[in-house]
Structure 1
Amino acid sequence: MIEFTSFRQHPDNFSVKHPEDVDMDMDMDEDEDEDFLQAGSSKITYPGEYLTSSQAFMRGHGTYVDNEDVIASVSGTVERVNKLVTVRAVRTRYNPEVGDLVVGRITEVQPRRWKVEANSRQDAVLMLSSVNLPGGVQRRKLESDELQMRTFFEEGDLLVAEVQAFFSDGTMSLHTRSLSYGKLRNGQLVAVPPILVRRLKSHFISLPCGVDLILGLNGYIWVSKHVKESDREGEEGFDAEAVYSNRNDDIDDSTRMAISRVTNLILVLASHSVPLTDAVLLDAYEWSIEQDAHIKDLLQDEIGEALVTSIISRG
């Protein structure tokens, strides 16, 4: 006896795909991933977010592969170089390069060297042979110089220096041979994420309010009273007492308020992840003066958002 069995009909929205259709869908997915990565270069991603397929791209730093998907492992910006996808973390330690200008703090005095905390993965080293000493820049360092190292730099001192080289273990070596470098006085230190400090032609900025800025590429910014270059030069072009003095100059109230204003502006811009350049800082200062905003009020949310909106619209 023959029985007839009726097969279930396909629903209306069901369609059978041929192999060439499947390949076309895969190409479309790859194109969508490429569009996402191009648009996401300035987009902040979060840990666990899907980025692309591991079959179409290679994973880099800040990512991992899960079920053939490239997933972000840190919060940061997506960067793509050809087929390599990486995520540059927003909160990370400073990655130094030779020639970078950095601001640091002396943490220890060792034989013929100082250890410097510079917001990197390990402390930097400032050799005694890499600083200016009284009596001439190019003279040899003597035993007497080593005995009085704390008269030049001691624990807690702030300084600006340049990355000179790297040791075999990756520790960066600094130098302060230029008169533009050395001990810092008459100001305030501000710490921001290093990713927000852009590389500029000059990281020494003078604002019209009588405030000097040193934008360290390691995320440490020094805001201080304006000092003329001639004030640091002695009869022989090098005034050791002025360069290595631990005493601050007399600062009038208007300059103190200007330093506080610039400091608060930097904090507001950094809290909104605005890259810091000389033009941005000058625009922010002019905006705060035009709005007649009080120094303390700059830290309020609504004023900070208005400042950032104005800066972005100008840029």
Structure 2
Amino acid sequence: MFTIVSPAPRGDDLEYTTTRHHPSVKDEIDMDIEEQGGEFGEGPSRLASPGETITSAQAFMRGHGTYVENEDLVSALTGTIERVNKLVSVRALKSRYNPEVGDLVVGRITEVGPRRWKVDANARQDAVLMLSSINLPGGVQRRKLESDELQMRNFFEEGDLLVAEVQAFFADGAMSLHTRSLKYGKLRNGHLVMVPPALVRRLKSHFYALPCGVDLILGLNGYIWVSKHVKQSEQEGEEGFDAEAVYSNKNDDIDVATRTAIARVSNIIRALARHSTPLTDVLLVEAYDWAIDQDISVKDLSAEETSEAMVAAITFRA
């Protein structure tokens, strides 16, 4: 028996609907499925449970997380239904991150080795950030010298958080990262929130500046960075960048209002994640405005009743 493997659909083509679970994909192919008697069009939910019949196995091909029984395509796990043309698969709600080249990830340095760092990126194995894949003082195009190897902990050390892009894969399947762009690099002035990777979709941009004065980085690996808003540097070029500022371990002074906004956004993200709600900047802004309108304190956002009311208010709004 052959198993057909296909990449997950890109987030640029997805359309979010008012549902607590993963967003529905409503397009011409979905209309074809409904006409053929498939069950994708029945109700807004895209969540499947083990043993649940998804659609006919005669009209569609089975992908990961599914199996065929009595000419029906059946889910083998709890997750969201995904489809590429006629290939139907189920993506587990709770699983390790499955990287692709070009993905933006947030990670934590776990080990400093010879000419490389190991990074925890919530994948099946640690990622690798090579010394040759970062910005260095004097310009990114210069050769890496032995003196750079001796100063590796001046750039990143154990416990540091960073945002990077997946560049390639090694023979053993480990992903290689790079931070050559000035929008990547060490993270400061914020808070890390961890959610299931399935709740973060691939979009055109994963950097957002929320109106409440908080910057947001949605890592596709489920690591989300919530931080103080920082204006873009006037230095557009990469040569001669301020290495001390880029690789500094000291946080800036953060006022009480900004700290409160960071904590509120972090608790909102956790509340949405508990209810399997996909995370977007629009949804987070609506949830933030709802919390302000209802005069909900930061601490109360963690309460189950409050989070249920918030999710119901923002996801089932007409």
Whether 1:241 and 2:236 are equivalent positions in the alignment is no
Give me the whole-angstrom Cα distance separating, in 2, the residues matched to 1:249 and 1:233.
Answer: 22
Helix, strand or coil for the counterpart of 2:244? helix
Match of 2:102 among 99, 104, 109: 99
Whether 1:184 and 2:180 are equivalent positions in the alignment is no
Match of 2:287 among 284, 291, 307: 284
| Correspondence 1:196-275 to 2 at 5 A | 196-230=199-233, 237-275=240-278
Give me the whole-angstrom Cα distance separating, in 2, the residues matched to 1:235 and 1:131.
Answer: 11
Q: Counterpart of 1:76?
A: 79
Give me the whole-angstrom Cα distance separating, in 1, the residues matched to 2:239 and 2:171.
Answer: 37
* Alpha-carbon shift at residue 236 of structure 1 (Å): 6.5
* Alpha-carbon shift at residue 234 of structure 1 (Å): 11
**Corresponding letter in the other structure for 1:155:** E
Which structure has the larger Rg over C-alpha atoms? Answer: 1
Please say if residues 139 and 238 of structure 2, whose CA atoms lie closer than 8 Å, have aligned partners that are also in contact.
Answer: no
Give me the whole-angstrom Cα distance separating, in 2, the residues matched to 1:168 and 1:235.
Answer: 31
Unpaired stretches in structure 2, ≥5 consecutive residues: 1-32
Match of 1:306 among 309, 314, 318: 309
Give me the whole-angstrom Cα distance separating, in 2, the residues matched to 1:234 and 1:164.
Answer: 21
Please say if residues 96 and 163 of structure 1, whose CA atoms lie closer than 8 Å, have aligned partners that are also in contact.
Answer: yes
Q: Counterpart of 2:154?
A: 151
Tell me: CA distance 1:74–1:143, structure 2 relative to 1, closer, same or farther (3 Å).
same
Whether 1:175 and 2:173 are equivalent positions in the alignment is no
Tell me: CA distance 1:142–1:48, structure 2 relative to 1, closer, same or farther (3 Å).
same
Please say if residues 200 and 277 of structure 1, whose CA atoms lie closer than 8 Å, have aligned partners that are also in contact.
Answer: no
**Corresponding letter in the other structure for 2:210:** L
**Corresponding letter in the other structure for 1:203:** H
**Corresponding letter in the other structure for 2:81:** V
Q: Counterpart of 1:116?
A: 119
Whether 1:88 and 2:91 are equivalent positions in the alignment is yes
Helix, strand or coil for the counterpart of 1:36? coil
* Alpha-carbon shift at residue 34 of structure 1 (Å): 3.4
Give me the whole-angstrom Cα distance separating, in 2, the residues matched to 1:32 and 1:207.
Answer: 41
What TM-score results when the alignment is normalised by the length of structure 1? 0.82
Please say if residues 96 and 124 of structure 2, whose CA atoms lie closer than 8 Å, have aligned partners that are also in contact.
Answer: yes
Helix, strand or coil for the counterpart of 2:39? helix
* Alpha-carbon shift at residue 260 of structure 1 (Å): 0.4
Give me the whole-angstrom Cα distance separating, in 2, the residues matched to 1:289 and 1:251.
Answer: 21
* Alpha-carbon shift at residue 154 of structure 1 (Å): 0.9
Helix, strand or coil for the counterpart of 2:38? helix
Q: Matched residues, percent identical? A: 73
Q: Which structure features the higher share of helix residues?
A: 1
Helix, strand or coil for the counterpart of 1:96? coil
| 135-144 vs 57-66, which moves further | 57-66
Tell me: CA distance 1:296–1:225, structure 2 relative to 1, closer, same or farther (3 Å).
same
Tell me: CA distance 1:297–1:41, structure 2 relative to 1, closer, same or farther (3 Å).
closer
Please say if residues 40 and 77 of structure 1, whose CA atoms lie closer than 8 Å, have aligned partners that are also in contact.
Answer: no
Please say if residues 232 and 239 of structure 1, whose CA atoms lie closer than 8 Å, have aligned partners that are also in contact.
Answer: no
Please say if residues 168 and 177 of structure 2, whose CA atoms lie closer than 8 Å, have aligned partners that are also in contact.
Answer: yes
- Please provide the CA RMSD for this pair: 2.7
Tell me: CA distance 1:51–1:208, structure 2 relative to 1, closer, same or farther (3 Å).
closer
Tell me: CA distance 1:165–1:298, structure 2 relative to 1, closer, same or farther (3 Å).
same
Give me the whole-angstrom Cα distance separating, in 2, the residues matched to 1:292 and 1:224.
Answer: 22
